Amino acid sequence: MVSLHSYARQIAALEARGRARRLQPRAGIDFSSNDYLGLAHDPAIARAVADAAMRGVPVGSGGSRLLRGNAPEHEALEEKAAAFFGSEAALYMANGFAANLALLSTLPRGGDLIVADELAHASMHDGIRGSKAKAVFVAHNDAQAFEDAILRWRGEGGTGTPWIVAETLYSMDGDRAPIDDLAAVATRHEAMLLFDEAHATGVYGMDGRGLAAHLEGTDNLVSLHTCGKGLGVEGALVCAPRLLIDTLVNKARPFIFSTAPSPLMAVAVGAAIDRIAGEDGDMLRGELSALVAHAGEAICTPLGLPAPQTQIIPIVIGEDQRTMDIAAACQHAGFDVRGVRPPTVPPGTSRLRLSITRNVSKDDIAQLAAILLPSMTRKEKVA
């Protein structure tokens, strides 16, 4: 009989360190989701999906895109996404994790160099592990560190293509990448840029095109726009030169061997793009911006924290158990606030990750502050 004792010991060790994870149902006022613009329950998106289902668009794709799973809705979405984001071509994939696995395990080749921000998404780390390229991680948001890594590699005889890999807005720290500085490094060293816009898509840039939108259409940019955050739906759109999209279709295992996303979800993503564009999108972003500013005044200022840069507000506690105790107090009062512990964040930086979305009101923020602030016995700091 197979013994599972080693797994039991592993879970017990996590329990003892206060780091065991458990699934829990959603409950309370939303201060934890990535549904920044509140589009997950948007009536216009729901109507678009219902209309598509009524005219016979199937729920399931029936196979991978390279078999029978390639639906007209996928291709229509990709054409719309390329035009909207400003790239030569786009590819729709199941989610951002799969997309980063595909991108980083496929596009950088043996002889190339990947230079990645040390705080880049876990999916980027996993994709890098699957690459044949050499990889180094550098100090967070330090453009000079990226350049120094490329120079060292060239000095050691590196002759391939450097790949600069970063998020444009970091999910645990809420800060923005030095996009233009990284682009300048790429220009000086004939490097490729791979920017993950996951937490910026829909929220920043003209019409919500992202923080690196002004660079779109260049031959050295690959951008990833996930659809399950600011767009409120599901999936991920890779935007890149046509040749690189063709390379992914032919070489990327997470794309080739995955069942295609639902054609109905492709319709939903297209409708979400329509919602974030134009005056309606400006209104949504304006409302979110006002809520973020209010959270800064109601929560950050009393704690001695700087004004939030983005809709993500990290309150670094440090100690794992204390972080979870404060989160539990907020949850008990009816607010969905989550604690984040290592290994998701570096050791000693356990934190509350407050996510400000259009799913809350200014009154909700004020009521959370009334619960949260007394829970703090000393000043916390933003990472």
- Say how many domains are in the chain: 2
Residue where one domain finishes, among candidates 251, 276, 301: 276
Q: Is residue 95 part of a domain?
A: yes
Q: Which of 168, 171, 165, 170 is nearest to 105 (CA)?
A: 165
> Annotated catalytic, 332?
no
Do 325 and 225 belong to one domain? Answer: no
Per the residue annotation, which of 199, 262, 320, 350 is the catalytic one?
199
Whether residue 6 is contained in a domain is answered as: no
Listed residues 217, 250, 276: the one ending a domain: 276
Residue 167 among the catalytic residues: yes
pLDDT, residue 313, reads 97
Domain for residue 20, yes or no?
Answer: no
What CATH code is carried by the domain that includes residue 321?
Answer: 3.90.1150.10
34 is catalytic: yes
Regarding whether 227 and 194 lie in a shared domain, the answer is: yes
Is 284 found in the same domain as 229? Answer: no
Does the residue 7 lie in any domain? no
CATH number of the domain within which 116 lies: 3.40.640.10
Answer yes or no: 258 catalytic. Answer: no
Q: Residue 251 — φ and ψ, nearest 5°? A: -125, -20
In a domain, 144, yes or no: yes
Given the residues 30, 35, 147, 167, select the one marked as catalytic. Answer: 167
pLDDT at position 322, please? 92
286 and 204 assigned to the same domain? no
pLDDT at residue 377, rounded to an integer: 57
Query: Does 233 fall in a domain?
Result: yes
Residues 231 and 326 occupy one common structural domain? no
Residue 253 within a domain: yes
Please tell me whether residues 83 and 166 are part of one structural domain. Answer: yes
What pLDDT, on a 0 to 100 scale, did the predictor assign at position 178? 98
Same domain, 144 and 240: yes
- pLDDT at residue number 381: 47
* Residue 328 lies inside a defined structural domain of this protein: yes
Q: Which of 30, 87, 112, 121 is catalytic?
A: 121
Same domain, 50 and 185: yes
Catalytic residue, candidates 223, 229, 294, 364: 229
Q: Are residues 262 and 289 in the same domain?
A: no
User: What's the 3-state SS for the chain?
Assistant: CCCCHHHHHHHHHHHHCCCCCCCCCCCCEECCCCCCCCCCCCHHHHHHHHHHHHCCCCCCCCCECCCCCCCHHHHHHHHHHHHHHCCCEEEEECCHHHHHHHHHHHCCCCCCEEEEECCCCHHHHHHHHCCCCEEEEECCCCHHHHHHHHHHHHHCCCCCCEEEEEECECCCCCCECCHHHHHHHHHHCCCEEEEECCCCCCCCCHHHCCCCHHHCCCCCEEEEEECCCCCCCCCEEEEECHHHHHHHHHHCHHHHCCECCCHHHHHHHHHHHHHHCHHHHHHHHHHHHHHHHHHHHHHHCCCCCCCCCCCEEEEEEECHHHHHHHHHHHHHCCEECEEECCCCCCCCCEEEEEECCCCCCHHHHHHHHHHHHHHCCCCCECC
CA distances from 213 to 13, 62, 196 (A): 45, 34, 12
Do 90 and 134 reside in the same domain of the chain?
A: yes
pLDDT in 10s for each residue of the chain, 383 residues: 788 999 999 999 988 887 888 888 888 999 999 999 999 999 999 999 999 999 999 999 999 999 999 999 999 999 999 999 999 999 999 999 999 999 999 999 999 999 999 999 999 999 999 999 999 999 999 999 999 999 999 999 999 999 999 999 999 999 999 999 999 999 999 999 999 999 999 999 999 999 999 999 999 999 999 999 999 999 999 999 999 999 999 999 999 999 999 999 999 999 999 999 989 999 999 999 999 999 999 999 999 999 999 999 999 999 988 999 999 999 999 999 999 999 889 999 999 999 999 999 999 999 999 999 988 755 444 44
| Active-site choice (196, 336, 364, 380) | 196
| Claim to verify: residue 350 and residue 244 sit in the same structural domain | no
Task: Out of 100, 171, 223, 355, pick the active-site residue.
Answer: 171
- Domain interval for residue 311: 280-375
Q: Is 199 a catalytic residue?
A: yes
Burial of 191 (0-12, 13-18, 19+ CB in 10 A): buried
Domain boundary among 276, 311, 329: 276
Shared domain for 63 and 109, answered yes or no, is yes
Choose the catalytic residue: 34, 87, 95, 141: 34
